[in-house]
Structure 1
Amino acid sequence: MSIRGIDQITYGVEDREQCGKFFDDWGLERIEETATRTVFETLNGCRVIVADHDAADLPPAFEEGSTLREVVWGVGSDADLDRLRPVLEKAEGFVADKGHIGCTDTNGLAIRFQLTQKRDVEVTGCPSNTWDKRERIDRRGAVYERARPIEVGHVVLFVTDVSRAEAFYAELGFVASDRYPGRGAFMRCEPRGGHHDLFMLQLPNGKLGLNHVAFTVRDIHEVFGGGLHIDRCGWKTQLGPGRHPISSAYFWYFKCPAGGLVEYYADEDELTGNWQPRDFEPSPTAFAEWAVDGGLDGHTRRQHEAKAGGKFLTEKRED
């Protein structure tokens, strides 16, 4: 079975104008506008739909307020849809229309599968020079004024029963990457791929809903450039920049008016069928190798609320 990743996500929101402004600043391309929804695209054609929360054709919400209402996963062939159908038919809320088949997952979120609509794109990241391997010669490293996300890379959900949720997605063909036993499950669509396309986290209070949606960018420098631009636009950091030790990815999280958080990330681990899932104990050090609390100021390039008085090395000395 070939599940190619996320093709489309849909938010149901209370303030579509504000959310539209956010995703414009985030670096998505606005491609369509109707009376009830605004449609954006990433570089490879992955769609982000921002719909009025009371639009009649939206699936039910799994939490109050603005939030994620649907995730559409792309597959490689009609044969893949045929193999998925018997599993989906057993689940709650089975649907089959307009080229989709889907259901409601164990968390109450609408999921759909379709022939992937994403397109191949030529995107080049900036290579790094390590001690033993020099890949950038006679050229400077990249500096980005803003980010242009390549695709929606993964979603993270709060769930009430992580073991049940993992079993549901495993039956659809998802593969376990790593776990917080009894608390969290990192899963990828296929044996070969990035560290995770889906992460489900069970909190002690039983909270259900959206944690964040993550957008893939080309390299660590675009994480920084994108984050600094979003800060200059006036949007607030939740945490970052930083680095996850479990997936090795660099991240920067922002509060999102469409619900939950959104993340720029790059440089996650690439796994194969040889990978054996590891178990981790939830802790601050498992979540982040390092992270900047409050983010960086897009104008000063320093941590927000840092004490005044510091100078850049390039500033003129006062003798």
Structure 2
Amino acid sequence: MQLLGIDEVTFGAKDLEKCRQFFLDWGLSLHTESAQELVFTSLNGCRVVVAHSDKPGLPAGVEPDPTLREVVWGVANTVDLESVRQRLHQQPGYVDQNGRVGCTDPNGLAVRVQVTQKHAITVDCAQTNTWNERTRINQASPAYDRATPIEVGHVVFFVTDLAATSAFYETLLGFVVSDRYPGRGHFLRCAPEGGHHNLFLLQLPQPRAGLNHVAFTVRDVHEVFGGGLHMSRCGWDTELGPGRHPISSAIFWYFVSPAGALVEYYTDEDELTDAWQPREFTPGPTVFAEWAIKGGIDGHTRRQKDAEAPSGRFMTDKPR
């Protein structure tokens, strides 16, 4: 049994109209909506649900709304789902209904598993020419007016007990540690072979439970930029980015979300196998980001936010 990734996330929030506009601008498709719930989908069918905080039956949050209330992971078939059922049936908050089994993790989050509802897709992606590999021939790299996320690739939580929460995911759900901040954070992938992490658990010096961010995979670095510039033009606030994470190699751009905490566009993370040996890092600014732009890029001027707008002259065309 192994998990295939995130199938669905559910936020609890009160301002559904603002969340509706945000996730439409973000590039998701609105699947269904009602007075108490919005359901969005990504390109491969991954679902993002925003439920009103007062919606009956909504799992409790690990912190006050707006925040993430539930994460649903996918497996390949009913045999794997039965394996999960046997592993979780004695855990706190156990549920088994509507094709999902789950429980409450040690951090207080509702965790569910179902046979995946996502579907395989193929998308056109940019080719990168390096000194050794020249695969893009007679073809310009793409530029995007906006992003269309492929899926929710990972989630990041603040936890009150890193060891206990990490052990839950490793022992009961088969997660594998990719890298560590010893005693502070674990990067976990949901199978031996896959992207650098699907889950990052972070324990602060003064531990608390909460959401840090939800990350959406896009096809290439140009879509990170195109999506970020579109969100900027729409008036949404950048928290940090664009930038690059040295630990996972991913290019990122974080925005402040009305559904809680942050959301991220990212691409080009490391692909790992069971031969990978976890590394240990000391947290710090240069470990988090090789480079990053605070406040983002203005979507109209294409310059760093609050920088002087371009004049139209060539950069070397200076007054004599």
Range of TM-score over shorter length = over 0.9
Whole-Å separation in 2 of the counterparts to 1:281 and 1:311: 43
Residues 164-313 of structure 1 mapped to structure 2, 5 A cutoff: 164-171=164-171, 172-306=173-307, 308=308, 311=311, 313=313
**Does structure 1 conserve the Cα–Cα contact (< 8 Å) formed by 2:44 and 2:118?**
yes
**Does structure 1 conserve the Cα–Cα contact (< 8 Å) formed by 2:29 and 2:41?**
yes
Query: Which residue matches 2:55?
Result: 55
Runs of at least 5 residues in structure 1 that lack an aligned partner in the other structure? none
CA RMSD after TM alignment: 1.4
Give the partner amino acid of 1:70.
E
Whole-Å separation in 2 of the counterparts to 1:160 and 1:184: 11
Query: Which residue matches 1:3?
Result: 3
Query: Which residue matches 1:29?
Result: 29
**Does structure 1 conserve the Cα–Cα contact (< 8 Å) formed by 2:303 and 2:309?**
no
Query: Which residue matches 2:144?
Result: 144
Encode CA deviations 1:39-95: one digit per residue, 9 max, x unaligned.
Answer: 000000000001101101100111012110000000011111121123212211000
**Does structure 1 conserve the Cα–Cα contact (< 8 Å) formed by 2:301 and 2:309?**
no
Give the partner amino acid of 1:214.
A
Query: Which residue matches 1:104?
Result: 104
Whole-Å separation in 2 of the counterparts to 1:246 and 1:158: 18
| Structure 1 position 318, deviation (Å) | 8.1
Query: Which residue matches 1:120?
Result: 120
| Structure 1 position 310, deviation (Å) | 5.7
Encode CA deviations 1:229-257: one digit per residue, 9 max, x unaligned.
Answer: 00000000000000000000000000000
Whole-Å separation in 2 of the counterparts to 1:316 and 1:24: 40
Encode CA deviations 1:113-152: one digit per residue, 9 max, x unaligned.
Answer: 0000001111121010001110100010110000000000
Query: Which residue matches 1:43?
Result: 43
Whole-Å separation in 2 of the counterparts to 1:124 and 1:72: 28
Query: Which residue matches 1:157?
Result: 157
Whole-Å separation in 2 of the counterparts to 1:294 and 1:98: 43
Give the partner amino acid of 2:229.
L
Moved over 6 A (4+): none
Whole-Å separation in 1 of the counterparts to 2:219 and 2:312: 28
Q: Secondary structure at the match of 1:3?
A: coil
Counting matched residue pairs gives 318
| Structure 1 position 314, deviation (Å) | 4.4
Encode CA deviations 1:203-234: one digit per residue, 9 max, x unaligned.
Answer: 01212110000000000000000000000000
Give the partner amino acid of 1:65.
D
| Structure 1 position 270, deviation (Å) | 0.2
Whole-Å separation in 2 of the counterparts to 1:314 and 1:232: 25
TM-score by length of 1: 0.97
Whole-Å separation in 2 of the counterparts to 1:276 and 1:291: 27
Q: Secondary structure at the match of 2:287?
A: helix
The alpha-carbon distance between structure 1 residues 225 and 310, as it changes in their structure 2 partners (threshold 3 A), is closer
Whole-Å separation in 1 of the counterparts to 2:233 and 2:47: 25
**Does structure 1 conserve the Cα–Cα contact (< 8 Å) formed by 2:19 and 2:258?**
yes
Give the partner amino acid of 1:39.
V
Whole-Å separation in 1 of the counterparts to 2:115 and 2:242: 35
Whole-Å separation in 2 of the counterparts to 1:318 and 1:86: 72
**Does structure 1 conserve the Cα–Cα contact (< 8 Å) formed by 2:301 and 2:310?**
no
The alpha-carbon distance between structure 1 residues 135 and 104, as it changes in their structure 2 partners (threshold 3 A), is same
Which sits farther off after the overlay, 59-68 or 222-231? Answer: 59-68
Query: Which residue matches 2:84?
Result: 84
Whole-Å separation in 2 of the counterparts to 1:140 and 1:232: 25
The alpha-carbon distance between structure 1 residues 318 and 292, as it changes in their structure 2 partners (threshold 3 A), is closer
Give the partner amino acid of 1:303.
Q
TM-score by length of 2: 0.97
**Does structure 1 conserve the Cα–Cα contact (< 8 Å) formed by 2:242 and 2:296?**
yes
Runs of at least 5 residues in structure 2 that lack an aligned partner in the other structure? none
Whole-Å separation in 1 of the counterparts to 2:313 and 2:203: 46
